[in-house]
Every structure is written in structure tokens, then in C-alpha cells.
Chain A
């Protein structure tokens, strides 16, 4: 299970990073894809909507189950990685290589979990 040091995390299994385009990039973690199994759908991303941290921003679905993905901070959803529509399995093979949505925000991401804290969170839920 991978927990890259340079990323930030949420207890709901999103990874977050400050992109070089000034936006916040959000994806799902290795632990999330492992729990969900083979992913078959990514979508319903609320592009153009302003969300509070913790509000539903979209959904990922595996063969097994549907799982909401959440806004990690307050802000506006400005982009959806629609290449994932055709290839949701890319989230299984490289969860940290594909962002799912981007947000425009003034909120800092420093307060989110670091890799160590997120790993402890995953371990304790087993």
C-alpha cells in the first residue's frame, strides 16, 4: 500500500495536492481503490459548483459498490478528468497518477492529514 509523502490526505480516502496550475487536485488513495476493487464508473462531478469541505463532489463505483468522493476543502469544482470516463480502471492501476477533479480555493490544505497520519488512520480501521 502506497502513501506518497508529498501528498495530503482526508479521512475519507481522498489524496490532495497543490497543483502547478494554482488549483487543488483531488484523487482517491491506494487504500480506497483496494477497498473498492475494480472500478467501473467515475462521474457525477459537480463542475461549476461551490462546495463546503466534506460535501459530495462526485462518485466512484466499483463492481461491488458506489462511493462518494468529497471536497477536501471549501471551494469551487472547476474541472473533471473526463478521460477517466472511458478508463476508470486507471484508478486501480495508478491511483496517484490520475486526479479526478480540481478545485479553485483560497483555503489552505496544510490542515489535512499528512502521509503518516493517514496511514495510521487506514491501519486503525482494519
Chain B
């Protein structure tokens, strides 16, 4: 079979990363910074001070028109009617008819005729095609506009907000009173108090042509550049799922620790609901802490008293200085249980722990 080399896509900050000496790697078809030197130092910078990530490979999609809310009632597993205040955000899965996860995403309610969703990079094209199909088949009158003209920069850490205000004093008034999971527009910045690290901070969506200037202003006030390597260890410590690892199209949110994002109370016919109600929860997604020396990695087999499981995400935790993981296991497995993980042919001892592992700079296990 011929090997077809597709050129890697680059974000508007590519030249900035290259000039900073970043190690650039193929990340789902995008040439992205893995680290700028030490992944562990970047991780600690976010836990202890402030760091920033270029996540412009993720895709904002604007949904506009009077039918947008009814469309989202059908499209997503969480209940869009929880969004009553402008600016409020909702984390949700978008399911297929079998109850599998097409993607996980955040929906921002800006106006009754304008919602913005942000989807994962690797699934963006598939997601948009699905949204268009659902809108067409069910005759929702909405406009779906992928915003490839926008960049996204996440500024995260205990000092992240203060450093944004130091770099851009004009943003302070509009963003200081933002509660967690709210967004506001400030000039050409869309500032959301959301993140993927377990720390306070903002995710900021802005015009691509302004991204490099904004990045350099944040760097000048001491925000550390952080790569996708640190982003992964931070999100895992924070107990946050990664699409493609911890859930995918053949895994239900109920089997991926995401039951809290599925609203079955409201009598709403969303796509995938019938399958979820038919199948229920079949597996549990739990946290593991390795007690022996070694590193847990995805796809390693887990041995429990109730049967076999599998690590879905694993890494070395820079905060806890030991290896941690998420694993899909039989539902009977409970916090505190002793389990074993097959690490390179050796059965190592691990303990089932409550997630998150770390939140706001503090170890919770």
C-alpha cells in the first residue's frame, strides 16, 4: 500500500514555537509543541504559577439561528437547558445512536441565537459533518460555522488570571467577576474561565492574526510556555478524560466516568439516549495509583478480584512523584481495592483511588 504523506497542519503560533526551541511533533496531523525543554518543569509552572498552551488545533464552531437550542437538545447528552445565563458553559458528550461518544466538547451559551462549541482537533471534521447531517435530517434551521480563523490559547495556573490582567489591563473589568465555567467577550477576545489542567485560569479564543502578539505579551509578564506533554500530565492528574484514550465511538459515557455529564432526568430525546437506557453502565472508569516502581501506560492489562480491566491513560505524575492512571474495570471494583497491572510482563501492585488525583495545586490522594 502506498504511504501518503499529508503535510502537517500548523497553528498561527508555529513560528513562535519553533523560535522558542520547542520540540515539535505530529499530534493528530498537527505539528504541535510537545515541550520547550522540560515537560516536568512546564507541568510544575502551571501547578505553582502560570503557564500557557497553544490549543489552536482545537476548533471553535459557531451555531447560530433561532433553532440552535432545540438542535442542541437533540445533539448532546447533557441538557442545554441548564444554560440560562449568557456566557455560561456546559461540558458534554455528543453521542451516536449506539450511545458511543463521537466527541466531548464545551458549549457556550452567548445569546439565544448564538451558541459556540469547541471540539477536539482530531475529530473536528467528523463532528462538523455529523452536526450538519443532524441539522439537515431533522430540519433544524441553523447556521454551522467552523471558525478556522480563530486561535485558542489556554492560560492556566494559580496566577494565570492576574498575569492576563497584567498583560492586558483592559480585560480585567469584564473577566474578574467571571465565575468558573463562564465566558465573556472583551474586544476581540473571547475569554472563558475554563481549562484542562485542574487549575484556575482562562481559555482565550482570538483572531489568528493576533495570536503571536498576545502570546509574546503573556510571555513578557512571566507566563511559562507549556507543551502538549505537560497538558496531558496535568489533565490526567486532574482526572479529566482524553478523547480517543478514555472514551471513543464504541464507549458509552456511562462506561467512561462521564455519567455526571449525561442528563436522563429531562424528558428529552437526544441522540444515543435509547441505547444508554437500554445498556446502562457496564464498566467503571477508576483512578489507579501505582504502589511499585514503574510507569503505567494505556492498554496495559489490569487484574482485579472482579475480573480483567485495561489502563486507558497512564503516566508519571510530576506532582505525586509516582505513576497514576485511569483504567476501565468491572463495575464491582471500588475505591481502596488492591489491583495489579501487567507492566512489561510483570504484575505490579496498584490501588484504586478517587479522582481527581490533584486539584488546585494540592495532592488529593
- The answer to whether the Cβ of B53 comes within 8 Å of any Cβ in the partner chain is no
Bound form: Cα–Cα A40–B40 in Å: 10
Are B229's CB and A44's CB within 8 A? no
- The answer to whether the Cβ of B78 comes within 8 Å of any Cβ in the partner chain is no
Question: In this complex, what residue of B is CB-closest to A68?
Answer: B344
- The interface size bin for chain B is 10 to 19
Bound form: Cα–Cα A68–B241 in Å: 29
1/0 per residue, CB under 8 A from A, across B57-78: the answer is 0000000000000000000000
Choose one: B229, B295, B344; the contact of A40 (CB below 8 Å). Answer: B295
Q: How far is the CB of B232 from chain A (nearest CB, A)?
A: 8
Q: For the complex, count residues of A whose C-beta is within 8 A of B.
A: 13
Q: Which residues does chain B contribute within 8 Å of A64, judged by CB atoms?
A: 34, 39, 229
Q: Which residues does chain A contribute within 8 Å of B297, judged by CB atoms?
A: 66
Bound form: Cα–Cα A98–B297 in Å: 26
Known: A44-B344, A63-B318, A64-B229. A85 touches B293 (CB 8 A): yes
- The answer to whether the Cβ of A27 comes within 8 Å of any Cβ in the partner chain is no
- The answer to whether the Cβ of A95 comes within 8 Å of any Cβ in the partner chain is no
Question: What is the interface of chain B, defined by CB distance below 8 A to chain A?
Answer: 23, 34-35, 38-40, 229, 233, 293-295, 297, 315-316, 318, 344, 346
| Top 9 A-B residue pairs of the complex, sorted by shortest distance between their CB atoms | A40-B316, A38-B40, A61-B295, A38-B39, A41-B295, A63-B316, A63-B39, A37-B39, A38-B38
Question: What is the interface of chain A, defined by CB distance below 8 A to chain B?
Answer: 37-38, 40-41, 43-44, 59, 61, 63-64, 66, 85, 92
Could you jot down 19 A-B contacts, CB within 8 Å? A37-B23, A37-B39, A37-B229, A38-B38, A38-B39, A40-B316, A41-B295, A44-B346, A61-B295, A61-B316, A63-B39, A63-B233, A63-B315, A63-B316, A63-B318, A64-B229, A66-B295, A66-B297, A85-B293
